[in-house]
Amino acid sequence: MGYMGMCAAPRWESSVKCLTYMVSDCKRNDVDFMRVDINKHAMYYGLVLGCIFGLNFMLSTIPSTVFAVVQFVVICAIPYVAYRMAKHCRDKVCGGYMSYWVSVWYVVQLFMYASMISATIKFLFFKFIKPDYLSRQFQLSMDTLEKLGLTSGMEEESMYVVQEQATNALTMSIQSIWVNIIVGFVVALIVSSIVKREKGLFGDE
């Protein structure tokens, strides 16, 4: 029922219902617009975070102690970067207030978009830059398992299936998206406890 339908009845009750409907409709529209703005913010900064993910991956492909230390620093910095992005969204998009679960939703979106960028970088690396990278990594893993005596009970057919999946560029790239999203959810639960700022009864925290 639209505004005209609710306001057409002569009784004063309909006027109250009409006003209530208009106010609730305006609030719903504000929420919808804010949701779109939050999503746009997550997409933009997800691109930035995705480049950091990509940098982290590229560092992991270089066998060097120095690069390993740099990679460790980058990994530790990712939760802080996510916190800063969520705080920026709260202050610039949400008017200084953001509930816990909205913050969780935002950070998960950040990691989702970042994971897509990172997966694209990984796919290009696996497919065109170092096509033998996954095969060598798989062989190193199998050698380690063999030394530990964990491959003796594995059937040859099962080994072949595992090898096919572990050395497929597309499969490994897509798999990394889900792994990063799960990690992002865990980070979101922690970060959101700091970022959240609820509106009080009179508009304060």
Domain ranges of the chain: 23-195
Task: Please state, in angstroms and rounded to a whole number, the distance separating the CA atoms of residues 128 and 138.
Answer: 18
Question: What type of residue sits at position 78?
Answer: I
The per-residue pLDDT for range 110-166, each reduced to its tens digit, is 999 999 999 999 999 999 999 999 999 988 888 887 787 777 666 777 777 888 888
Length of the chain (residues)? 205
What pLDDT digit, counting tens, does each position of 25-73 carry? 434 444 555 788 999 999 999 999 999 999 999 999 999 999 999 999 9
Contacts of 15 (CB under 8 A, 6+ apart): 7
Q: Which two tokens stand for residue 15?
A: 């006027």
3-state secondary structure of 54: helix
pTM of the model: 0.79
Taking the C-alpha atoms of residue 93 and residue 166, their distance in angstroms, rounded to an integer, is: 41
Nearby residues of 58 by Cβ (< 8 Å), 6 or more positions away: 121, 125
Rounded Cα gap, residues 89 and 37, in angstroms: 9
